[in-house]
Structure 1
Amino acid sequence: MTIMVRDLPAEERPREKLLGYGASALSNAELLAILLRTGTSKQSVLGIADEVLAHYKERGIAGMVHMAPAELAAIRGIGMAKAATIVAAVELGRRLAVRTAEQIQVVHGPEDAAQFAMPRFRFEQKEHFAVMLLNTKNHILGLKEVSMGSLQASVVHPREVFRAAIDYAAASMILLHNHPSGDPSPSREDIAVTQRLVKAGRIMDIPVLDHIILGDCRFLSLKEKGMMS
C-alpha cells in the first residue's frame, strides 16, 4: 500500500516540516518533494523524489547540476513542467554559490583562491584549466579559463596562459584546475605543467604563486606540498 503525503502526520509532511524546523531539517528527498508538489494516483511525491535521486545515485546529488529537462521528464511521474522547476532550482543554487564566492576580492592564501573558483568548476565532468590573475596587492583581476581537456588530462599551452596575464596586466597568477573524480591529488602531468609554467613566469616576470587542484569540496595547493619547482 502506497503511503501518500496527505496520510502522514502534519509535522512529518515536507512543507510543514520545513516551515516548522527550517530547510536544513529536511532530507534531499523531502526538499525535492516540495519542488515536485504532487505525486500521482499510484505513487506519492516522496516516492517520485526517491526515484529522481536514485537516477543520479552513481554521480551523487551533484550530478543534478548537469541534468537536462528531457532527462528528468523521462522519469515516471515527472513531466516537463516539474522537470523545469527542478532545473531552475538547481541553477539558482549554483548561481548563489558563485555569487557568494565573488565576495572574495583579495587572495591571502590558497583557501581564498580555492573558495573563489570552487563553485565554477566543482561539478564539471571534464578538466578545466584556469588562471587567477592578480595585481600587485593580490586583488583578483579575473579568472580566465585557458583550456578544457578530457576526464584524464588538460592540454595547457604556456602562450595561452601568459596571453591572459598580459591582457589583464596581471602582476602575478595562480593556476587552477579541477579533477572530476573529486580527488585533488596531483598527477605527474600536473606537476610537470606547473614546473614548466613556473619557469615561463620567471622569464615573463609574471610569477606563478601557486597551482591549486580542486576536488569535491576539497583542494590541494602544490605550493604547500613543495611541488612548485
Structure 2
Amino acid sequence: MKIKSLPLEDRPREKLIKQGAENLTNSELLAIILRVGNRGENVLDLSNKLFNKYDIRSLSRVEISKLRKEIGIGDAKACQIAACFELGRRLAAFKKDGHIIRDTKDIAKIFLPEMGALKKEHFKGVYLNSRKRIIKEETIFIGSLNESVIHPREIFRIALDENAAALILLHNHPSGDPTPSEFDIKVTKELVKAGDILGIKVLDHIILGENKYLSFKEERLI
C-alpha cells in the first residue's frame, strides 16, 4: 500500500503537523526522514523493517555498508539515517560550557548520550573553575588507549591555559562495558598524582558504556 493510500490522519508527515513530533512512533519519524520507500515497499514498511531488526541505539551505530547489505537500501537513505543520528549526538553535545557539576551523575548525564554510542574510544578532559562550572571540554585522543598516547603534559597544558581549578577525565568503552582495565586504573592514578603536583585536582575518571557508567571516585579507585 502506498502512503498516499492511507487516511490523511495516518500519514506520518500530516500526523506530525497535526499532533507534534513527540506523538509519532520511531518508525513514523524515520519515514519522514527517508521520504520514500524501496521498490515494492512504502517508506513506512521500510522504517518498520529497520526497527524490527535494530533498536534505536543499534540503528544509531550501524555502519552504512551494513545497512546497504542487510536491509537493501541505497547510499542516499543510509546517509540520511547516519546524518540524522549524528545531528542528535551533536545536539546532546551542544553548549556544555557553564554547567555546574555537583556530582558524578551530573557529568554522566551530560556526556553519556554523546559518548556512550561512539564506535572508537575517545579520551576527553572536562575542565572546571573553582565553582565546579564547566569552562572547557576537549577530546584529547581517539583510538585504543595505551601509555604511548596518554600524555599528562597535554591534559594539564589545557588546564593551565584555561586557568582550570580541577578536571574530570572521561573515556568510553565501545564494547558497552564500563569496567576499567588495569591500564585504565594505572594511568588514572598517575594523572591524579600529576594533578596534585600542579595544584589541579583530578576529581574523577568516568568510563562510559552502553547506558551505564563507572566512576573511579564512587568505586574508590582514586
Structure 2 SS opposite 1:60: helix
Paired residue type of 1:34 = I
Structure 2 SS opposite 1:62: helix
- The normalised TM-score by structure 1 is 0.78
Q: How does 1:72-221 map to 2 (within 5 A)?
A: 76=72, 78=74, 80=76, 82-83=77-78, 85-99=80-94, 102=96, 104-150=98-144, 153-155=145-147, 156-221=150-215
Structure 1 SS opposite 2:118: coil
RMSD after superposition: 3.0
CA distance in 2, matches of 1:140, 1:39: 44
CA distance in 2, matches of 1:85, 1:125: 19
Aligned residues: 219
Paired residue type of 2:93 = V
Structure 1 residues 41, 136: closer, same or farther in 2, change over 3 A? closer
CA distance in 2, matches of 1:88, 1:41: 23
Q: Which position in structure 2 is the counterpart of 1:29? A: 27
**Comparing both chains, which one has the higher relative contact order based on Cα–Cα distances under 8 Å and sequence gaps of 6 or more?**
2
1:190: how far off?
2.0
Structure 1 SS opposite 2:183: helix
1:176: how far off?
0.8
Structure 1 residues 105, 181: closer, same or farther in 2, change over 3 A? same
What 5-or-longer segments of structure 1 have no aligned partner?
Answer: none
1:38: how far off?
2.2
Structure 1 SS opposite 2:31: helix
Paired residue type of 1:127 = E
CA distance in 2, matches of 1:221, 1:26: 36
Identity %: 44
- The normalised TM-score by structure 2 is 0.80
